[in-house]
Each structure stands twice: as C-alpha cells, then as structure tokens.
Chains A and B, each alone.
Chain A
Amino acid sequence: MNSLIRYSGRCLRTGAAVFLPRQAGGRMLSTSARLLCAASDLQKDLGGMVKKDKVVVFMKGTPAQPMCGFSNAVVQILRMHGVDDFAAYNVLEDQELREGVKAFSNWPTIPQVYFNGEFVGGCDILLQMHQNGDLVEEFQKLGIRSALLNAENESK
C-alpha cells in the first residue's frame, strides 16, 4: 500500500502522463505537486485552501477510493446530500499536509471538514449533524440544496 502511494506520488512529481482518477464526486487536488518550502508556508496555503471552496475535506484517500472508514463515511454523507462539488485533499499523499492540517485546525484526527472556510469537525460531528437534520440546514446556508430535501418532497 505504501509503495503504491509513493509510486503515484513519483508519477505526479515527474509530470509523467498521469492517470487522473475519475471521481464519483469531489475534485481531487494534488498536494504533492505543490512546492512546500516550509511549514509556515503550508499554514498560509491551508488558509487559502479552506476558503477556496465551499466544502473542503481533508481525508485519507480520495472520494473515489477512500483509504479509511471515517474518511469514507464523510464522503458517503456528502454524497447522500447530493454534494458532488467539494474539494478533497488526500493527506496520505503528503505527510507535511497530514501533520500541518492537524496543527492548522487544532484537531488531532483525519478526516476534517470545512464549510466556507470554517472548521466543522470530523466524521463524528458530521454524522451527528446529518442524523439530527442540522446538516441540511448548514448546506442551505452555503447555498447548497440537499438532495435529501428532494427525496422528502417526492415521498409526500
């Protein structure tokens, strides 16, 4: 597994013909292609990264192929709400990102979810918000209409 990740990392760095995995949802952004000179640059980058898109997820693996049950759960929840357009950063590709985002968010684990540049939480929080209906409301504030609302209307 590790060698596979290192191999794909090498491919991206050498700029070889790269197979960009088709996502079911979420845009994969390559972090190994960025030039990270120092940890402080990463913190600045992160500031921009979380604001650039409405929904940002730092996860293990990709939306098409999550490498961890919790990261997968986050992707599945977003998918259920019909949220396809979100930025996903694979921390397994980039050890500095993996540690840096924990420091940036002051949060010890991955996955990490941001809405409109604001830290929401990890898998537990997202799941609870989904279960108690708060998530639909949060998406509404972002101008995203949850697919679950459509499902509700259809069943009426």
Chain B
Amino acid sequence: MEITGDHIRDKLIKELEAVHVDVEDTSSNRCAASFKVLVVSAQFEGKPLLQRHRMVNMCLAEELKTIHAFEQKTLTPEQWEKQKSQ
C-alpha cells in the first residue's frame, strides 16, 4: 500500500475528527517518504503537546512504520483561528 498524502489526510479526519488537515509531502527533500502535517481538532482541547502528538502517532501507527520522516503541528480549532488571523 503506497502511503499518499490523501490517505493520511482521510485517516486523520476520520479518527481524530479533524476539522482541518494540511498534508505536505516532503519526500522530495529526502530520499524516502516524508510528510509534514497540520491537524486541527477539538479532541486536542486541554491536552499537552506530547499527548496530542501521541494521538496523531497512534492514528498513523501503521504508516509511520514505513514513513522515514514526519513533522506535525497540532492545534485546537481556537488556536487555528487565532493563528489564521495573525
């Protein structure tokens, strides 16, 4: 199964009820599959950074076994709105 940005996006939306997901395929910068994601979900509310990232890691556990590099940014809808207005 080839891991595509769309596949990752769909999974994040489905499992984390993400209201917004940006997936950037950064594989061209490296020699292997790499992705950079921005996930906005109300499920992150009240959770510290590490816990949020672990949620994303768990959601993509299978994919991460083969993905070489992975960057992630996790925001609550409120933080996302604030960031957009800056």
Contact = CB atoms under 8 A, between A and B. Distances in A.
Interface stretch (B2-10, B14-22, B69-77): B69-77
A125 B69 contact: no
B23 interface: no
B53 interface: yes
B4 to A, nearest CB: 18
A76 to B, nearest CB: 16
Interface residues of A, number: 14
Interface stretch (A18-26, A116-124, A144-152): A116-124
Given A107-B57, A108-B57, A108-B64, A120 B73 contact: no
A45 to B, nearest CB: 23
B17 to A, nearest CB: 21
Max count, chain B CB within 10 A of own CB: residue among A70, A109, A121? A109
A77 interface: no
Interface residues of B, number: 14
Nearest to A119: B50
Contact of B70 (A106, A109, A120, A125): A109
B50 A124 contact: no
A125 B53 contact: yes
B69 A70 contact: yes
Nearest to B49: A125
Contacts of B50: 119-121, 125
A64 interface: no
Which 10 pairs, one residue from A and one from B, show the smallest C-beta to C-beta distance? A108-B64, A125-B49, A121-B50, A109-B70, A124-B71, A124-B72, A108-B57, A128-B49, A125-B50, A121-B53
